[in-house]
Amino acid sequence: MTGVLFRTWEAPAATREWPDVATVADHVGVEHLVVTRHALVRQVLADQQTYRPDNALDAMTPVPVAALRILTRHGFRLPPTLANNGHPSHPAIRAIVAEALHPRRVEEQRAWLTAVVRERVGRLAADLDQGRPVDLYAELAADLPLLVLARLVALPDADAAVVKEFTRAALELFWAPVALDRQLALAEIVGRFHAVLREFAKDGPGMVADLRAHAESPDIVVGALFFLLVAGQETTSQFLTLLLHRLAGEPAVLDGLRAGTVAVDDVVEEGLRLVPPIVTWRRVTSRDTVLGGTPVARGTSVVLWLAQAGRDASVVPDPDEFRPGQRGSRRHLAFGAGAHRCVGAQLSRMEASVVVAETARLLAGAEVVRPPWCPDNLSFRMPDAFVVRRRAVRRCQEASSAQTRQSSSTP
Ligand code: HEM
């Protein structure tokens, strides 16, 4: 089972036969209790006293002194703020962030986002018409969530490419099995941008100013910004890519979307259930306990297999089928649950619904050239590309009708 831990999305259907909880050692020999069933994952998420969030951002590969030195040189500190904060300070910090991401403010971005996506999809369709393959990750999904986030929350003035490099480096440094050389390189990238965030946190406006007014230490403001940038855009661009890829293989759903017989929101929920960008999330036990009949010692790392919980046959009748609107489809745990449930859920849903609605037609005429590939990671899918081209049969038809047009216009 060890190999599966960092590539859970490739786990075969046989994992259904896994026990409800299973102890798995990682690449450095640390044991984790993997929780596979929906009811047990929920139980853990609901009990913040026994299952604390403190280890949410702990590095899976211990950070060696040399890399710590690099981080320290940049002034890197990550105190408990949001996802890893089980302390009484959490609700107030969360409330400030939640206000910035209020569903009303999110909804105000819909028209703007629709225009941006429509324009991009139009350009991509033109490229496809010209016979050019297009990368729906790089050219559509990668930076969209960052653009939207920047309209809701004041962020440091940095190129999208720089932010993406930083956030992807953070996901690798903390959640992947990494070799020493790579850790040093990642620490440099993460540390450098952390310093940018620290500068911005000193006098940035909006949500940052609200956090500054409330927080006892500037590190709290930086920590919140850090997590928001990682969680608030990388996850959604991953999700958009994975969902578009899944939809490309679901012609009946695409037909239904175009005909208006399948609801966009149902497609988004089924996507969150089947291809969540965060496949697992961690907690740590604060005392000896029992979970699903298994004794669990204090201090155990508990890995909640969110993606597998979404495929629990006790919750959905057709766990592996993409059936928008099927019973139980919305009961996935892609956003977690309880006190730390994702505050960006509404935002990512809005973004996904716009993208699905605007790309259904384009996807229906496309075929996959290169599916997304994701590197080893405990929690995050990090698709690298998703390339499509105009479907072959369509291309043949177009080629032959172009030929007909040409020969009929030839004197
Ligand atoms: C499809 C996209 C997303 C998924 C699947 C996702 C998933 C998650 C998960 C699993 C958690 C941990 C929940 C728990 O511990 O119970 C979380 C927490 C969080 N997410 Fe998201 N997220 C997404 C998008 C976003 C966006 C767009 C934002 C903000 C712009 C965001 C901000 C946060 C924050 C701030 C937390 C920490 C909440 C707290 O500890 O109180 N997420 N998310």
Pocket test of ligand 1: the residue of 105, 335, 347, 351 to mutate, having most ligand atoms within 8 Å of its CB, is 335
pLDDT of residue 405: 56
C-alpha of residue 411 to centroid of ligand 1, in Å = 64
Check pLDDT > 70 for residue 15.
Answer: no
Ligand 1: atom nearest CA of 336 is 16
pLDDT of residue 63: 96
Ligand 1: atom nearest CA of 349 is 1
Check pLDDT > 70 for residue 408.
Answer: no
pLDDT of residue 18: 79
Mean local confidence (pLDDT), 180-188:
98
pLDDT of residue 59: 97
Please work out whether the CB of residue 334 comes within 6 Å of at least one atom of ligand 1. Answer: yes
Reported as a single tens digit per residue, the pLDDT across 380-396 is 999 999 999 998 764 55
Count of domains forming the chain: 1
Q: Which residues of 6-20 are buried (b: 16+ CB within 10 A; e: fewer)?
A: bebbebeeebeebee
Ligand 1: atom nearest CA of 339 is 41
Please work out whether the CB of residue 94 comes within 6 Å of at least one atom of ligand 1. Answer: yes
Please work out whether the CB of residue 208 comes within 6 Å of at least one atom of ligand 1. Answer: no
Report whether 46 contacts 337 (CB < 8 A).
Answer: yes
Which residue, judged by its Cα, is nearest atom 16 of ligand 1? 336
Among candidates 278, 270, 356, 265, which has minimal Cα distance to 311? 270
Phi, psi of 80 (to 5 degrees): -60, 125
Please work out whether the CB of residue 347 comes within 6 Å of at least one atom of ligand 1. Answer: yes
Please work out whether the CB of residue 243 comes within 6 Å of at least one atom of ligand 1. Answer: no
C-alpha of residue 127 to centroid of ligand 1, in Å = 34
Which residue, judged by its Cα, is nearest atom 4 of ligand 1? 335
pLDDT of residue 232: 87
Ligand 1: atom nearest CA of 281 is 10
| Percentage of residues in the chain having pLDDT higher than 70 | 93
Split at pLDDT 50, 70, 90, the class of 410 is: very low
C-alpha of residue 399 to centroid of ligand 1, in Å = 47
C-alpha of residue 336 to centroid of ligand 1, in Å = 8
pLDDT of residue 392: 75
Check pLDDT > 60 for residue 400.
Answer: no
pLDDT of residue 216: 83
Rounded to the nearest integer, the mean pLDDT of the chain is: 93
Mean local confidence (pLDDT), 250-258:
97
Report whether 332 contacts 309 (CB < 8 A).
Answer: yes
C-alpha of residue 65 to centroid of ligand 1, in Å = 30
Contacts of 67 (CB under 8 A, 6+ apart): 180, 183, 184, 186, 187
Please work out whether the CB of residue 332 comes within 6 Å of at least one atom of ligand 1. Answer: no
Please work out whether the CB of residue 340 comes within 6 Å of at least one atom of ligand 1. Answer: yes
- Residue 352, judged by CB atoms within 10 A of its CB (0-12, 13-18, 19+), counts as buried
Contacts of 259 (CB under 8 A, 6+ apart): none
Which residue, judged by its Cα, is nearest atom 39 of ligand 1? 340
pLDDT of residue 13: 65
Please work out whether the CB of residue 91 comes within 6 Å of at least one atom of ligand 1. Answer: no
Reported as a single tens digit per residue, the pLDDT across 123-178 is 999 999 999 999 999 999 999 999 999 999 999 888 889 999 999 999 999 999 99
Split at pLDDT 50, 70, 90, the class of 404 is: low
pLDDT of residue 19: 87
Which residue, judged by its Cα, is nearest atom 21 of ligand 1? 342
Check pLDDT > 70 for residue 199.
Answer: yes
CATH number at residue 123: 1.10.630.10
Structural domain range at position 237? 2-409
pLDDT of residue 208: 95
Q: Which residues of 244-267 are buried (b: 16+ CB within 10 A; e: fewer)?
A: bbbbbebeebbebbeeeebebbbb
Mean local confidence (pLDDT), 324-331:
98
